[in-house]
Chains A and B, each alone.
Chain A
Amino acid sequence: MSDAPAVVATPLLEAQDVRKTYRLGAIEVPVLHGASLAVREGEWLAVMGSSGSGKSTLLHILGGLDRADRVGRNADGGEVRFRGRAIERLSNRALDRYRNREIGFVFQFYHLLPELSVVENAVLPALVGQVPLLWRSRRSEIRERAIDLLERFGLGHRLKHRPRELSGGERQRVAIARALANRPAVLLADEPTGNLDRKTGGEILDLLAEEHRRGLTIVMVTHDAGIGERADRTLWLRDGRVDGAPEI
């Protein structure tokens, strides 16, 4: 029943038979019914699908931000495994840690905190994962890494600015820097260029490609075939399931 391609080594992150149904009062909206995929370490995977096909939903479930259906006692809604461990079984605390340490999210609408400056936004995950006692000793190290990243992304002159003073492309770069702050195992990108013009979007993709070249594992969802081409491998989400080959 699995449509996932055969993988030899233990995948870094995999989804198996994931089901997700939204309930709007009495109406059930099934979005995912048995979606499976696997990402290898160091891979750049693109998941394509038309609008409303459930790409974002799948990505959120992969990142532990949303949960698959719990049908019976035995997790009929499928399973998401990170390094072989089912994240559904993690405690709330462990799930917070998983999102903080292992996952970096990049969203279509950037989702920066408007009250924080560029650097503060970029160090946020590092701050969140920090215990106050160790904070003083690690403070400069965390800041330096964030500033390094921001400079690499061409934002060295924008560190003190507020997100609303930046262009869309600049904002998305800050969001990527934030996603990378804790050196996550996987970057989950949801239409990272969806809100940008073609040229700016291309620059963002170049930047992702550069990080990928440095060893970053990326799962990116998009409805734009041209963008999907940049990935190592492309899967298709159709009728709530993942296909290995494109349509046509």
Chain B
Amino acid sequence: MVYASLLANRYLASRVIPLIAVLAVALNVALVVIVVSVMTGFLDMLRSSGRTLMGDVVVTHEIVGIPDYERFLEILDETPGVHAASPLIETFGLVRMPYGRDGESRVEPVQVWAVDPRSLAEVTGFAEAVYWRAPTDDERAELDERDPRLDETFHKLDDALAINDPDVEPGMVLGIEISPFNSRTRRGTYRPTPSEAWMPLHDVTLSLVPVSSGGRIAEPREGRFRIANEFHSKVYQVDSQRVMIGLAEGQRLLRMAGGPLYDPDGERDENGRPLVIGRSPSRATTILVRGDDGLPPPELKYAVSAAYDRFLAELRDDPEAKVKPPSFVDIQTWEERLRDLIAPVEKERDLMNVLFSIIYVVSAALVLSIFWAIVHEKTRDIGILRAVGASRSGILWIFLQWGLVIGVIGACVGLGLGWLVVDNINAIHDAMGEAAPTWSVIVAGGLAAAALLATVVAAWRGSLLHGLIWSLATILLAAIAFGLSRHEGAVMWDPSVYYFDRIPSRVDLLRAGATMIGAVVFSILGAAIPAAKAADTDPVRALRYE
């Protein structure tokens, strides 16, 4: 049908209307792509943060800990599917900071992880999370001259993973949001405040409360630690609460290290001391396990449970092991472990899915109605075509082609637009978070003045339509200029509320593709349905249509 292509072409070649149609499709596609990308990014980030924070599966026996965990680690090591495992003690404590008000040190309540950094780095993203590096010579040149990193003593920053090395002073790695002496840049990185109080290489005092294997609380104990570094896990709750020390230090302070085991109620030796009846095992409260890549955490959890049962059986039969491991420990995948955090996010995802469906439907309705108006305007043309013998299917074909072209162009433009926004979403957010730059106010004001001039010219020439359009533009631009001048910045993504410290986003190609196909389908439908209706109405009425 030669005429169908000719007319589809001509309808596309007219200036304003196809532009509006493409814009409608593009904006809707962009909107959907942006919303979906942030949602996908959020869930992605959650998923990967679970792994980088705690590996895949976590074995815990809180407070008292698992005795002879070293043997358990050996068994885990031989278990297929286990990539690496790392023991740690998780507890709470108080850190007396080297800064404070009125000469008094500030005391921060913290979550303490006593870790074995080398294996922790294999299981989690700890090595990458350790934030400060000794600057290279090139970087030195770039740094502010008051930057504390320029001090030669900071070459030790790179030794952060040696915090439990007995040769090094007991070290501590702080969450980067704990001390107020790091300033966050707009790009989500940190700069040390040029100040004496910048944390690394300062000493702090940590107080912990030991609990015996019987579950009794003993005298609180204190230890001095040197801040070896700070870490940035990108999860705000963790960065603002957790400190890491060496496992050996933790065991010592918490009385969880191995040593001779006495029988308090038994016989005494000649000096009146209780007799040594064996060795007390060292303990850890938590074992983090990372599975081989691609192994689903629930399967790993199953394997780890089986490994723990073997560990139990082995120690039960071992007469040397005076302290038996607990029969029941918590074995959880990171997802189960993060339930408290994930549950609201999953609710949010459900809500997002509902919102997404609404956005999709609204977008489709918008495209349909805009196309409806555009095609409706061609009703008389359709009557004329029917009068010269065009068939209904031929007329439908014109608008199918038109809808296809608009849909494809709109979808591509929309994807590009969406991608651009998603790529720069944090920059856009940050720009909105600051007061508008003066030049933007001047530009908007200048444009408003130009529009005002155009209004005056139009009025002088007596052109009502142009006068109206330009006066509207004047009002709009003046409002924008006013708004910009008053805008003092608003932070919408508050990391303490949204769990992550940056807006996560990732363009999900599959969903983007589905959105684009949807856009094309709705464009075609949007054009074809009113065209079919017009082709169905009796041609005489279509001809009379003004």
Contacts of B3 in A (CB 8 A): 124, 127-128, 130
Contacts of A93 in B (CB 8 A): 391
Contacts of B14 in A (CB 8 A): 115
Q: How far is the CA of A15 from the CA of B445 in the complex (A)?
A: 71
B349 at the interface (CB under 8 A from A): no
B539 touches A125 (CB 8 A): no
B540 touches A60 (CB 8 A): yes
Restricting to A103-125, which residues have a CB under 8 Å from any CB of B?
Answer: 105, 107, 111-116, 120, 124-125
A96 at the interface (CB under 8 A from B): yes
A120 touches B388 (CB 8 A): no
Closest Cβ of chain B to A15, distance in Å, is 16
A225 at the interface (CB under 8 A from B): no
B387 at the interface (CB under 8 A from A): yes
Contacts of A107 in B (CB 8 A): 543
B2 at the interface (CB under 8 A from A): yes
A111 touches B2 (CB 8 A): no
Q: From A127, which residue of chain B is reached at the shortest CB distance?
A: B3
| Among A93, A120, A124: residue with most chain B CB under 10 A | A124
A65 at the interface (CB under 8 A from B): yes
Contacts of B1 in A (CB 8 A): 132
From DSSP, what is the main secondary structure of chain B's interface residues?
helix
A99 touches B388 (CB 8 A): yes
Closest Cβ of chain B to A65, distance in Å, is 5
Contacts of A97 in B (CB 8 A): 389
A100 at the interface (CB under 8 A from B): yes
Contacts of B540 in A (CB 8 A): 60, 65-66
Contacts of B392 in A (CB 8 A): 92
A128 touches B388 (CB 8 A): yes
Closest Cβ of chain A to B210, distance in Å, is 87
| A-contacting 9-mer, from B4-12, B75-83, B104-112, B289-297 | B4-12
Contacts of A66 in B (CB 8 A): 538-540
Interface size class of B (residues with CB under 8 A): 20 to 34
A-contact bits for B381-416, CB 8 A (1 contact / 0 none): 101111111111010000000000000000000000
Closest Cβ of chain B to A225, distance in Å, is 26
B-contact bits for A77-97, CB 8 A (1 contact / 0 none): 000000000000000110011
A100 touches B2 (CB 8 A): no
Known: A66-B538, A124-B3, A127-B3. A92 touches B389 (CB 8 A): no
Contacts of B385 in A (CB 8 A): 113, 124, 128
Q: How far is the CA of A111 from the CA of B542 in the complex (A)?
A: 11
B380 at the interface (CB under 8 A from A): yes
Restricting to A35-78, which residues have a CB under 8 Å from any CB of B?
Answer: 60, 63, 65-66
Contacts of B6 in A (CB 8 A): 116, 120, 127
A-contact bits for B1-32, CB 8 A (1 contact / 0 none): 11100110011011000000000000000000
Cβ-defined partner of B539 (8 Å) among A65, A101, A112, A130: A65
A111 touches B390 (CB 8 A): no
Closest Cβ of chain A to B520, distance in Å, is 23
Q: How far is the CA of A178 from the CA of B391 in the complex (A)?
A: 18
Q: How far is the CA of A124 from the CA of B2 in the complex (A)?
A: 10
Q: How far is the CA of A101 from the CA of B389 in the complex (A)?
A: 8
Contacts of B383 in A (CB 8 A): 111
A30 at the interface (CB under 8 A from B): no
Contacts of A215 in B (CB 8 A): none
B-contact bits for A177-202, CB 8 A (1 contact / 0 none): 01000000000000000000000000
Q: From A107, which residue of chain B is reached at the shortest CB distance?
A: B543
| Among A101, A111, A113: residue with most chain B CB under 10 A | A113
B538 touches A127 (CB 8 A): no
Contacts of A154 in B (CB 8 A): none
B11 touches A124 (CB 8 A): no
Closest Cβ of chain A to B153, distance in Å, is 78
Cβ-defined partner of B387 (8 Å) among A111, A120, A130, A132: A111
B2 touches A125 (CB 8 A): no
Q: How far is the CA of A60 from the CA of B540 in the complex (A)?
A: 8
Q: How far is the CA of A96 from the CA of B7 in the complex (A)?
A: 18
Q: How far is the CA of A113 from the CA of B4 in the complex (A)?
A: 13
Cβ-defined partner of A116 (8 Å) among B10, B389, B394: B10
Known: A111-B543, A116-B10, A128-B385. A135 touches B2 (CB 8 A): yes
Contacts of A65 in B (CB 8 A): 386-387, 539-540, 543
Closest Cβ of chain A to B531, distance in Å, is 15
B380 touches A111 (CB 8 A): yes
B391 touches A96 (CB 8 A): yes
A129 at the interface (CB under 8 A from B): yes
Q: How far is the CA of A20 from the CA of B427 in the complex (A)?
A: 69
A100 touches B386 (CB 8 A): no
Closest Cβ of chain B to A123, distance in Å, is 9
Q: How far is the CA of A116 from the CA of B538 in the complex (A)?
A: 23
Q: From A142, which residue of chain B is reached at the shortest CB distance?
A: B2
Known: A127-B3, A128-B389. A113 touches B539 (CB 8 A): no
A130 touches B2 (CB 8 A): yes
Q: How far is the CA of A96 from the CA of B381 in the complex (A)?
A: 16
Q: From A120, which residue of chain B is reached at the shortest CB distance?
A: B6
Restricting to B256-277, which residues have a CB under 8 Å from any CB of A?
Answer: none
B391 touches A124 (CB 8 A): no
Known: A114-B381, A116-B7. 4 other contacts (CB 8 A): A65-B387, A96-B391, A128-B388, A128-B390
> 5 A-B Cβ contacts within 8 A?
A65-B386, A127-B2, A127-B3, A128-B394, A132-B1
Closest 6 CB pairs of A and B: A100-B389, A115-B10, A127-B3, A99-B389, A125-B388, A66-B540
